[in-house]
Structure 1
């Protein structure tokens, strides 16, 4: 019998698991795919939003602000990669200025210090961002905004939770929940598990899980967002995250550097199915044109790939975090700013469990620390080539991202049972470079095969029903868009 079963191993489920691993509890995290971070958590912008972003008086507003303040400490402990770049929300006319002033006031209401935000005009903006559109008249500077790698963060949280005693079972899709007098039986496609408490963190499928125990007071509206990624290093054309004035559909098309130095633009917002992860030429065309309103001279020759993700938009308009039924806690509808809010969401869930009567005894041996997998290297092209055929763990396996055999072996031995190329990609960045895996995939397979003692033909590119492996986009594809 488990004390708690967490359904869903995205950033929310993994943050909750890690928070609860501080206590003497028997915890199981179930995930339907072959790895953690396979849903919205791996396919989003990676922006740690500022306190101005979500409406005051909502759970989103409260938890976004609180979560933002927790990132520096969390990153020091888990080494997933985070830095505060700040952001500019830009406007072009008087109406935009009014909206930006309202965002400023909203930030103050949420708790942001007035020294962390400022309304800028004209040349003040261009001094900060020389490559921005010269027609920008006004901007909100938000200093508390940051960037992270969302899948690396999720992996780090899950690894640390496992290191502190949480069990994780992958490829266990929940198909039924049976209610008993004082416990639940969670039935998956693999097995059945008894538990006192259930925490539903199943993302776009959280409404389906909730309905299994008779709770039907909300539904999830899947909204697809498409992105375009540019070459590593091209993120240096801007200094901060660039937003346009938000609309009722969301924060709109952003232009941002990624934590690892790529440039990224997107996303749009379209209602879709929960399984549709395709990108399409008309939407990518719209994203590029809109992004160029912020930064006009984006070079399409630097495009690397495109991808999409599905957001779990709640019918209620706000996060759903509650004990919806005795010992059944819904953590549902966690769309943007869910990544930012996740550390604060975990604290809120902990408090719900306390009020529900769960006995929480802190461990004396909880270890908050997790070493990074990626080892930063400053190697020349010649040095990389010389290391490609080394007969040691220092051998370079992925030349674009300078990933060594040692890093891949390390990723395979972190307590989460993985064997796909996609899983290695998210942990080490192997296959994320210019060649998009054409050179290194056979080499990665060889390392996985040797380390796990399995045949290479047992190693999939990605697990069944896992999210997306970003598709390499042919440069001619973008030339056909004829974007001016």
Structure 2
């Protein structure tokens, strides 16, 4: 019997698993996908929110502010990309100014540092490409941007380095109460465990209902996005919001940690928890609303549209902690925005709850760091020459858009939790993230994966199991 089974390899599962890896525990993390961070954690705004949106006294308010304060040091520790760029909420008319004041007051009560309401002229000095007609904005200096899938991968990689086991392609189909804990039944095996942590994202209600009669519902709320080329990436230097509505924080325009520009998301409740398609009507709405904030955005430089699902719980707040009627079963559910920001703090708290339930096992004498990952284009000329001398593959550019070398691709294939798919490589070191979206480098990445894994080319998939790229030879 293991000590803990964590269900889900998104940001919540990653944060709690890494925190548990500090203790002398047997921890297994399960996911139905063939790679980690294949759900909401790879399809979101990548914003670290300051913390003025959530109502005072809620778990969302508490964990947003705590998580925000943890991100910078944590990202340095695990080598994940992060920038603290600040955010602005724009008021386009005097009628919207009271809403800025409401957010300001709420943020102060939530403990958000450095908030200011600035007049339009001051905002335009800082962000000259904004709509010249804005009258005021709420400025939050602690807001930031992050590489969300890199963060999840590095957190889980670090957890595995410290003894956690990740088992992929395992869909949980049942959980049964047994003496001393639970039997977690997947489509591959049965695992006996003392405790269970439900971090299943939009499927968290289904997992909860396998064990607890205290039901809650998760509504999948779809958000669609534009991702623009780096030629648009300097239009703004921070995160630009509009006054929010009851459905969300409105359409944002933001720089990204890798130098692109992102615009979105929409907020549409959908029936299917697999619905991540884009729609013309929603794309048109994003374009229209984004141009209200930044009129000079050129959407002809769009390189990618995508959509993600927010786990919108029906309780009005995060659902965190042990289920009332299921001892040893812990939920991390309903973690819509600001879930990304809140995740490190939630991970710490839930890990404490589980450790206490397990009788306070000792911490490990040594906590290992991740092996350093080389990002070739960030090196000095001298460092590049040194790296190439040790491994000539770092001298061969595979992705010209992002300047990613063969050495970097080989490294992420052979790292802990290494890539097994074309998109798995893409998430870990960015070939295919540029203007051509893998049009040139995709086949080479596929060839390198096949070579390094000892597989045939037609065995290498794009992302999910069954997402084939090649079906066979056309000529013998």
Runs of 4+ in 1 over 4 A off after TM superposition: 377-380
Residue 302 of structure 2 corresponds to residue 303 of structure 1: yes
Separation in 2, partners of 1:101, 1:339: 25
Separation in 1, partners of 2:79, 2:335: 24
Matched residue of 2:169: which SS? Answer: coil
Matched residue of 1:196: which SS? Answer: strand
Separation in 1, partners of 2:408, 2:277: 31
Change (3 A) 1:67 1:370: farther
Separation in 1, partners of 2:262, 2:200: 27
Contact 1:374–1:427 (CA under 8 A) maintained in structure 2: no
Q: Which residue of 2 aligns with 1:334?
A: 335
Q: CA deviation at 1:27?
A: 0.3
Say what the alpha-carbon RMSD is for the aligned residues. 1.9
Residue 141 of structure 2 corresponds to residue 140 of structure 1: no
Contact 2:232–2:297 (CA under 8 A) maintained in structure 1: no
Q: Which residue of 1 aligns with 2:359?
A: 358
Matched residue of 1:221: which SS? Answer: strand
Q: Which residue of 2 aligns with 1:476?
A: none
Separation in 2, partners of 1:236, 1:119: 24
How many residue pairs get aligned? The number is 458
Mean CA deviation greater in 214-223 or 189-198:
214-223
Change (3 A) 1:369 1:464: closer
Consecutive unaligned residues of structure 1, counting only runs of 5 or more, are 470-484
Q: CA deviation at 1:312?
A: 0.6
Separation in 2, partners of 1:417, 1:300: 35
Q: CA deviation at 1:359?
A: 2.5
**CA displacement, residues 372-409 of structure 1 (integer Å, 9 cap, x when unaligned):** 353334899xx9xxx9xx97343111111111111111
TM norm structure 2: 0.93
Contact 1:37–1:151 (CA under 8 A) maintained in structure 2: yes
Residue 407 of structure 2 corresponds to residue 409 of structure 1: no
Matches within 5 A, 1:124-273: 124-272=122-270, 273=272
Q: Which residue of 2 aligns with 1:23?
A: 23
**CA displacement, residues 253-310 of structure 1 (integer Å, 9 cap, x when unaligned):** 0000011000000001001120111101111000000011100111122111100001
Q: Which residue of 2 aligns with 1:347?
A: 348
Q: CA deviation at 1:217?
A: 2.1
Separation in 2, partners of 1:130, 1:361: 54
Separation in 2, partners of 1:368, 1:72: 17
Separation in 1, partners of 2:54, 2:247: 13
Separation in 2, partners of 1:37, 1:221: 20
Q: Which residue of 2 aligns with 1:480?
A: none
Mean CA deviation greater in 422-431 or 391-400:
391-400
Q: Which residue of 2 aligns with 1:474?
A: none
Separation in 2, partners of 1:310, 1:266: 13
Separation in 2, partners of 1:403, 1:453: 22
Matched residue of 1:135: which SS? Answer: coil
Q: CA deviation at 1:93?
A: 2.2
Consecutive unaligned residues of structure 2, counting only runs of 5 or more, are 470-476
Q: CA deviation at 1:415?
A: 1.8
Q: Which residue of 2 aligns with 1:457?
A: 458
Q: Which residue of 2 aligns with 1:473?
A: none
Change (3 A) 1:144 1:309: same
Separation in 2, partners of 1:368, 1:414: 13
Q: Which residue of 2 aligns with 1:424?
A: 425
Change (3 A) 1:303 1:378: farther
Mean CA deviation greater in 34-43 or 86-95:
86-95
Mean CA deviation greater in 335-344 or 352-361:
352-361
Separation in 2, partners of 1:376, 1:232: 16
Contact 1:78–1:372 (CA under 8 A) maintained in structure 2: no
Q: Which residue of 1 aligns with 2:58?
A: 58
Contact 2:252–2:265 (CA under 8 A) maintained in structure 1: yes
TM norm structure 1: 0.91
